[in-house]
Amino acid sequence: MSVTNSLHGRDLGDAGADRQNTLVVIMFFAAGIVFLDRFGITFLFPQIGGDLHLNHSQLGSLVSVTAVTWAISSLIFSVLSDRFGGRTKWMIVASLVLFSCAVGLIGLAPNYGVMLLLRAIIGFCEGPALPLIQGAVARASSPERRGRNMGIVIAGTLLIGSALAPSIMIGLATALSWRLAFPLVAIPGILVAILVAVFMREDRSADPDARRITARDFRLVLANRNVPLALVGTTVCIGAIIGFGTFAATYLSEEGLSKGTATLVLTVYGCIVALGSIIAPAVSDRIGRKPALFVAAICSGLVPVFFVLFAHSVPLLLISLVVGLMAGGSLTLITYVIPGESVPRELMATAFALQIAVGETIGGALGPQIGGAVADATHDLKNALLLYGAAPILLAVVALLLRETAPRLGKKAPARGAHEASGEAALS
């Protein structure tokens, strides 16, 4: 007997827009807290480094070790989730509770070794959260709202984990101390875990009489050419985003902008990109994933170029950053929406985790290093930004090679092709 998706009527998405919206709002905050707890520590490095007498290499390793354990656990637990039928509710709850507790303990770390261990634990506990969250949202969303809903989740990571994180972490550390800041930012994670436990309905879409997914079924994750293509696109996208984020503030400072002006530019950009992570996927729901991703890729490349061109004209720079309304959707589309619609829905979480694991370990690690090496070799940080502007060209090429997966456009294709292109294929 095959595992099919004929029971969509039981999905949260088909049960009503209100239930979809409730889930998306909760997951918006859940994803945002994940990234606040992961990257918030970087804004307190001056205080932490001074108190614990850490060098720059040790501070960097506190970020690197989290990325490594994050990538490993995201793949392990997403595969397990799909293997046992996509019942993710309590895995998400456990992830939120465990990493929040580990974050709270950071404030008690007496030395570098203990802090490094806690950061490794944080990464391992946080790793499954985002792919499982996106899998739950994708399964719960009606096809015409899937891109928008998944974009809203990513907007949470950008708004809470990036735009608001400096004010939250620095504000708490300044008012109290960095040791008290971590237990306080851990509290929201526990509260959101309670909301997930109370309001999230477990996925009951799978046929109870159908066989469970076997190890052989996971070959389907790479069987559709969209997934390996997306791996290339995700690696480029993550590498360019993390690399640009690493050097953007330093570049503006070297170009003579005051700290206040640079903060304004980066905050405005962060908010625009967060909004774009909703707008671009929503546009893709209407016009298709391929054209939306192509435009998003081109806009992603323009952002670093505009930083170089208009660094000395802040009004022009701020106006040019409107391209972020499409650029902000590139990561959501290539890492989540397209891979999720290219595999059987029972394997969505695995497809997401594979993208994250490869993208983070290759793109996330090499992006900043290559850019830094280029800047050092040419003695000009401008060249690193131009490199990050050129990299998304490869993402645009990937967009042209992908098969369309948007459900609305898929209806124009033959029934079987549309079915398989929309992440609704059967496992047989």
CB 78 within 8 A of CB 132: yes
* pLDDT given at position 45: 73
Residue positions counted in the chain: 428
Which domains, and CATH codes, for the chain? 10-201 (1.20.1250.20), 215-420 (1.20.1250.20)
Q: How far apart are the first and last CA of the chain?
A: 7
Place of tokens 């671009």: 280
CB 124 within 8 A of CB 95: no
Least confident of 25-39, 46-60, 171-185, 412-426: 412-426
Whether 200 shows a pLDDT value over 90: the answer reads no
**Could you report the per-residue pLDDT of 45-76, keeping only the tens digit for each?**
778 878 888 775 677 677 778 878 888 888 78
Which of 41, 95, 85 lies closest to 65, judged by CA? 41
Q: What angle do CA 287, 291, 292 make, to 5 degrees?
A: 75
Residue 427: phi and psi, rounded to 5, are: -95, 125
**Could you report the per-residue pLDDT of 83-133, keeping only the tens digit for each?**
666 567 888 899 999 989 999 999 898 898 998 899 899 989 988 888 888
* pLDDT given at position 300: 93
Strand partners, 427: 3
- Tokens representing 100? 């929040």
CB 425 within 8 A of CB 363: no
Q: Quick one: DSSP state of residue 343?
A: S
**Residue 310: pLDDT band by 50, 70, 90 thresholds?**
very high
CB 117 within 8 A of CB 157: no
DSSP string, 347-373: GHHHHHHHHHHHIIIIIIHHHHHHHHH
Q: What is the arithmetic mean of pLDDT over 170-198?
A: 89
Of the two residues 427 and 200, the one the predictor is more confident about is 200
Q: What is the arithmetic mean of pLDDT over 186-196?
A: 91
**Residue 399: pLDDT band by 50, 70, 90 thresholds?**
very high
CB 343 within 8 A of CB 423: yes
Least confident of 93-97, 318-322, 333-337, 415-419: 415-419
CA distance 194 to 189: 9
Instruction: Say which residues have a Cβ less than 8 Å from residue 171's Cβ, sequence separation at least 6.
Output: none
CB 419 within 8 A of CB 341: no
Q: What is the pTM of this model?
A: 0.73
**Could you report the per-residue pLDDT of 204-222, keeping only the tens digit for each?**
554 444 445 666 666 777 7
